[in-house]
Amino acid sequence: GAVVSQHPSWVICKSGTSVKIECRSLDFQATTMFWYRQFPKQSLMLMATSNEGSKATYEQGVEKDKFLINHASLTLSTLTVTSAHPEDSSFYICSARDLLAGVTYEQYFGPGTRLTVT
């Protein structure tokens, strides 16, 4: 089955620093990747849609200058949380669609990255 990995799986950083999270599709190519954020006991909130070779589309209320997304290849998208603050502490999950699967509905989710900002 399609596998999506994320790195790191967890990270602790100090307030004001930046953190980069990688999302990789391991055995398929993904033109589109999605970044979600999930606070404790809440559902996944879509932050942005990342398209290979073009700018990401951000959801309303998500600061594009704070959450930088780069989708430089068909297997890698990165999310950089800039000038992190404690309120950015959350579970960040990416997902990807398989380009070669044709018209497909399924998104494959990565295992998530737990970010704690102190």
Partner 1 sequence: GQNIDQPTEMTATEGAIVQINCTYQTSGFNGLFWYQQHAGEAPTFLSYNVLDGLEEKGRFSSFLSRSKGYSYLLLKELQMKDSASYLCAVRDNMNRDDKIIFGKGTRLHILP
Which stretches of the chain bind partner 1, using CB under 8 A?
A: 32, 34, 36, 41-46, 49, 57, 91, 93, 95, 105-107, 109-112, 114
Bond preceding residue 8 cis, omega within 30 of 0: yes
Q: Name which of 42 and 118 has its Cβ closer to partner 1.
A: 42
Q: Name which of 74 and 91 has its Cβ closer to partner 1.
A: 91
CB of 17 to partner 1, least distance (A): 24
> Do strands 10-13 and 113-117 pair parallel, antiparallel, or not at all (unpaired)?
parallel
3-state per-residue secondary structure call for 76-116: EEEEEECCCCHHHCEEEEEEECCHHHCCCCCCEECCCEEEE
Q: Name which of 88 and 92 has its Cβ closer to partner 1.
A: 92
CB of 83 to partner 1, least distance (A): 26
